[in-house]
Structure 1
Amino acid sequence: MISWNDYQYVLAIFRAGNISSAAKHLKVNTSTVFRRLEKIETIYNLKLFERHRHGYVPTEAGREIIIAAERIEQETFSAERALTGKDQKLTGRLRITSTESLAASFLSRHIPPFAEKYPGLYIEIISDNQRLSLTEREADIALRPARPTEESLIGRKLSTLKWGIYGSCLHYESGQIQKTSDLRTKSFIAWTGGPLAQQTTDWLRKTIPDVHIAYESSSMLTNAQLAINSHNLILLPCLMGQNWHELVPVFSPLPDVEGELWLVTHKDLQKNARVRALLDHLANAATGDRHLFQGEN
């Protein structure tokens, strides 16, 4: 018989595609992963993976093990969520995930007072533009710029997110540009990446057909620093632009560009005491930040 720990090794190899990456994920050395795979294959007298130059590909028998492992994994996650949901202690670890810009402009201001109020809690902020799974307990709470669509999640809309055009305070004044036609002589820094980034670039090209884009970056934080150190303008969520002291709102808020900010958790965790406490704290903080979300001075 093999244990759940063995199944985790098979899943890690399948998801990583090779031994070394699986070892890094499991936080063990490669020889440990290799020996564990050999042990499982010996027990079943079956080959679970074909070793190809481009990676480990599961055999038919391997796929059967992987399906079983994923089923066990989901049951384990479900049990953990159910137990965590009944935990009413304001102690332990809380993981919250958001984009890097929301982490820098919102969480960085509001997590410290929460941590001071509840010293028994350990807060981990995961600022990553890749969406982490709340179902698989990669995080307990998420700040997302879109309504959750998964049935297992619940969300609270914190605010509408207005956008604006910002520039360095060394070269521009607040409200300096009054109409979009005056933007045609300006150069911009583009944000590249996912669908939201594409929306901002599409807006620029639609509003200013011959727009000049000086350079681009996949990081909104990098773009803000680029704007500070140049004459170029940048599109930013007002929350971020209003908090960046070396930037000024040159043309803000934009009349036809906006998004939403949602606070999301798993249904099984909504009654957990520490999750509830942080959800309420961030919701209250968002109410106080309404003028920043809306681009109001």
Structure 2
Amino acid sequence: MISWNDYQYVLTISRAGNISSAAKQLKVNTSTVFRRLEKIETAYKLKLFERHRHGYIPTEAGQEIISAAERIEQEAFSAERALTGKDQKLTGRLRITSTESLAASFLSRHIPSFTEEYPGLYIEIISDNQRLSLTEREADIALRPTRPTEESLIGRKLSTLKWGIYGSTTHYQPYQIPDLKNLEGKSFIAWSGGPLAQQTTDWLRKNIPAVHIAYESSSMLTNAQLAINSRDLILLPCLTGQNWHGLVPVFSPLADVEGELWLVTHRDLQKNARVRALLDHLAKAAMGDRQLFQGEN
């Protein structure tokens, strides 16, 4: 009978695409993974992968094993969420994920007061623009700039997020530009990457006459630092721009650029005491940050 460890090895090889990458994920050496796969295939007289130069491709039998492994994995995640959801102790670890800009401009200001109130809780902040899975327990809570769409998740809208145009305190005064037409020909730093980044660049090209894009970066925080050290302007969420030492709002808020801020968790965790405490704390903090979200002077 195939054990869970066997399923796990086959599933990891499938996802990694090769033995060496699977070994790294499983935290064993390459020969261990190779021997385990060989042992499984010999024991069941099945070839689970076709060995190609570019990687390991599952056979039909291998795909059946992989599908079964995925079902087992999801059941394990579900059981873990159910057990965690019933845990009412205000001790232990909480993992919250967000974009790097939200982590820097919001979480960094409000997590310290939470840990002072609940010293038994250990908070891990994962500030990465790659979205982590709440379903697979990669994180307990997510702070996202978009509404959750997965049926297994629940969310609370904290605020709308206004945007503004910011520049260095060395070269600009707060709100010194009365009209977007006065920015004609100005040099901007563009944010590159996903769909939202593209929308901001498209907005610049549409609304700033003869706009000049000096350079671009995939990091909003890098862009903020670039703006501080130059005469170039930058489009930022007001929450980030208003909090960034060395930047001032040159024209803010923008009437036709806004997003949303959502606090999200899995349905199975909504009654967990640790999760509930942090959700309530951040919701309360967001109420106090209303002016920052809206870019009000």
- TM tier relative to shorter chain: over 0.9
Match of 1:291 in 2: 291
1:90-109, Cα deviation, whole Å (9 max, x unpaired) = 11111100001001111111
Aligned partner letter, 1:16: A
Secondary structure of 2:154 counterpart = strand
Distance 2:31 2:89 in 1: 40
Written as runs of structure 1 = structure 2, the 5 A alignment for 1:207-226 is: 207-226=207-226
Q: How far is 1:185 from its partner?
A: 2.4
Q: Does 2:203 match 1:203?
A: yes
Q: Comparing 175-184 with 266-275, which one deviates more in the overlay?
A: 175-184
Match of 1:194 in 2: 194
Q: How far is 1:209 from its partner?
A: 5.0
Match of 1:181 in 2: 181
Q: How far is 1:26 from its partner?
A: 2.1
Secondary structure of 1:248 counterpart = strand
Q: Does 2:28 match 1:54?
A: no
Distance 2:70 2:217 in 1: 37
**Identical counterparts, % of pairs:** 88
Secondary structure of 1:287 counterpart = helix
Secondary structure of 1:185 counterpart = coil
Match of 1:257 in 2: 257
Distance 1:39 1:290 in 2: 60
CA gap of 1:4–1:134, structure 2 versus 1, over 3 A, is same
Is residue 185–residue 208 contact of structure 2 (8 Å, CA) maintained in 1?
no
Written as runs of structure 1 = structure 2, the 5 A alignment for 1:122-271 is: 122-271=122-271
1:11-48, Cα deviation, whole Å (9 max, x unpaired) = 11111111222222222222222222122212211111
Runs (5+) with no aligned partner, structure 2: none
Q: Comparing 56-65 with 31-40, which one deviates more in the overlay?
A: 31-40
Distance 2:30 2:174 in 1: 56
Match of 1:110 in 2: 110
Q: Comparing 103-112 with 208-217, which one deviates more in the overlay?
A: 208-217
CA gap of 1:6–1:228, structure 2 versus 1, over 3 A, is same
Distance 2:28 2:238 in 1: 44
CA RMSD of aligned residues (A): 1.0
Secondary structure of 1:193 counterpart = coil
Runs (5+) with no aligned partner, structure 1: none
Distance 2:129 2:280 in 1: 24
Aligned partner letter, 1:178: P
Secondary structure of 2:150 counterpart = coil
Q: Comparing 24-33 with 250-259, which one deviates more in the overlay?
A: 24-33
1:71-120, Cα deviation, whole Å (9 max, x unpaired) = 11111111111111000011111110000100111111111111122121
Distance 1:286 1:57 in 2: 48
1:133-184, Cα deviation, whole Å (9 max, x unpaired) = 1111111100111110111000000000000010110011100111111111
Q: How far is 1:129 from its partner?
A: 0.6
Aligned residues: 297
TM-score by length of 2: 0.98
Secondary structure of 2:147 counterpart = coil
Secondary structure of 1:36 counterpart = helix
Match of 1:23 in 2: 23
Aligned partner letter, 1:244: W
Distance 1:108 1:135 in 2: 25
Distance 2:122 2:38 in 1: 39
Match of 1:88 in 2: 88
CA gap of 1:28–1:115, structure 2 versus 1, over 3 A, is farther
Q: How far is 1:222 from its partner?
A: 0.6
